[in-house]
Homo-oligomer: A and B are copies of this chain.
């Protein structure tokens, strides 16, 4: 396994840099909001993770690159010290991009040395921790896309960061929406395999589900347009109280990135401004919008247990970020009971992000990875067109605040059977 892991490490590290190949040097420093970190920061922070949790504690005589980086590229691990303020990450013109790339090389070469040392007394723990670092970097690869998209969208030039999509993309006829039935009862949820999973997916445990139905595909742009046309954003009765307050406060009238400059609807994408395909899944919704749409459609959001139970038998195979298409496409004709589980948009559930029964995080700063966020956030399930497909699975719990819209977040309806 050690050899394979070193390869996976190397491939993941290389991929992170390759994803940036179309950026200008100035793009690397861009931070459009506190939550949207600059590309350069992602490149540095993912290296910091290996340095902090592997090289410093486990590699004897490891030469630290720069002591100031300990704080500068710490995201939120209070156990490591006071992190540099999140909203100021865009102000770090120094270290330069070149130095950050050198820092990555420095970390990579020492990591390879550590991984190769099978005689290391904590060799097994090193491998496990390294795998966590790889999965961590894969998560930041997705954040690289979502953060960059948000930051560039604030530029009135609306620049595309990636080459234009091929013209033929998404010309398939859209499938009808069908409802899949599930009997419920006592079912098991949570990760149970031998491969990697995050701590928050454990322990696997029984849950009781009522009979329910799940939509075969995601809600589309044209369906969401009908909600808007019906006054969905002006009718408080459709909204949770906090959602309505947000709609009024932020003057939401459509999903994030929808543009209505011309007669035909457009949308801002990582490939620039493109027409809004009516059959493509609606994307960049807050949980409040997803919930309001569901209420308007006489349905509801699924719980995360329902979603996982329904999705577990389905295959994960999807390109994710690997096909260089960073925008959700219309569903092809239906081939499986549940389509678009992993390849288009994350799907909001109505479940608050709380610990599973018996959950306990590891001790030390690494325990801050997942556990401390278990308040006020909602669970999303599935995956998206900018996910690293290698880390998706039915039990994966993604989580964001219900007002967050900058992720590739969409909506699959559920209803009581």
Interface residues of chain A, those whose CB is within 8 Å of chain B, are 24-30, 32, 40, 68, 71-72, 76, 78-79, 84, 88, 90-97, 151-152, 154-157, 159, 186, 205-210, 236-237, 239-244, 287-288, 291, 350-352, 354-355, 357-358, 367-368, 372-376, 378, 402, 416
The distance in angstroms between the C-alpha atoms of A240 and B351, with both chains bound, is 18
Query: Are B243 and A375 touching (Cβ within 8 A)?
Result: yes
Docked-complex contact B376 and A93, CB < 8 angstroms: no
Q: Tell me which residues across on chain B come within 8 A of A76, comparing CB atoms.
A: 241
Number of copies: 4
A208 and B186 form a contact (CB under 8 A): yes
Cβ-defined contact, A92 with B155, below 8 A: yes
Q: Return 23 A-B CB contacts under 8 Å, by A number.
A: A24-B94, A26-B26, A26-B40, A26-B93, A27-B93, A30-B91, A72-B157, A78-B236, A78-B244, A79-B236, A92-B155, A94-B157, A205-B208, A207-B208, A210-B357, A237-B368, A240-B372, A240-B374, A241-B373, A242-B373, A288-B375, A375-B402, A376-B402
Q: Are B156 and A84 in contact (CB under 8 A)?
A: yes
* Pair A94/B372 contact, Cβ less than 8 Å: no
Whether the Cβ atoms of A242 and B155 lie closer than 8 Å is no
Report the separation of the CA atoms of residues A375 and B92 in the bound assembly, to the nearest whole angstrom.
35
Contact A26:B28 (CB < 8 A) given known A159-B94, A355-B350: yes
**A223 → chain B, closest Cβ, in Å?**
22
Tell me the smallest distance from the CB of A236 to a CB of chain B, in Å: 4
Report the minimal beta-carbon distance from A206 to chain B, rounded to whole angstroms: 5
**Contact between A350 and B358 (Cβ–Cβ < 8 Å)?**
no
A34 to B126, CA, bound (A): 45
Bound CA span A75–B339, Å: 43
Which of B40, B93, B157 has a CB less than 8 Å from the CB of A152?
A: B93
Residue on B with the closest CB to A287?
A: B375
Contacts of A24 in B (CB 8 A): 93-94, 96
B208 touches A240 (CB 8 A): no
Complex contact B95–A157 (CB within 8 A): yes
Minimum CB distance partner of A288 in chain B: B375
Q: How far is the CB of A289 from chain B (nearest CB, A)?
A: 12
Given contacts A24-B96, A26-B93, A93-B152, 6 further A-B contacts (CB under 8 A): A27-B93, A94-B155, A186-B186, A287-B375, A288-B375, A291-B375
Residue in B26, B93, B354 whose CB lies within 8 Å of A97: B26
A63 to B337, CA, bound (A): 58
Minimum C-beta distance from A249 to chain B (A): 14
CB contacts (< 8 Å) of A207 on chain B: these are 208
A310 nearest CB across to chain B (Å): 15
Query: How far, in whole Å, are A79 and B159 apart by their CA atoms in the complex?
Result: 27
Question: Residue A68 contacts which of B84, B93, B154, B156 (CB distance < 8 angstroms)?
Answer: B156
Q: Within the complex, what minimum Cβ distance (angstroms) separates A148 from chain B? A: 10
Specify which chain B residues have a CB less than 8 angstroms from the CB of A186 in the assembled complex.
186, 208
Q: Is the CB of B375 within 8 A of A240?
A: yes
With a CB–CB cut-off of 8 A, which chain B residues contact A29? 26, 29-30, 93
The distance in angstroms between the C-alpha atoms of A30 and B210, with both chains bound, is 47
Most buried by B among A84, A88, A207, A237: A237
Complexed CA–CA distance, A244 and B77 (Å) = 12
Q: CB distance B350 to A237 under 8 Å?
A: no
CB-CB < 8 A to A376: which residues of B? 242, 376, 402
CB distance from A187 to the nearest CB of B (A): 9
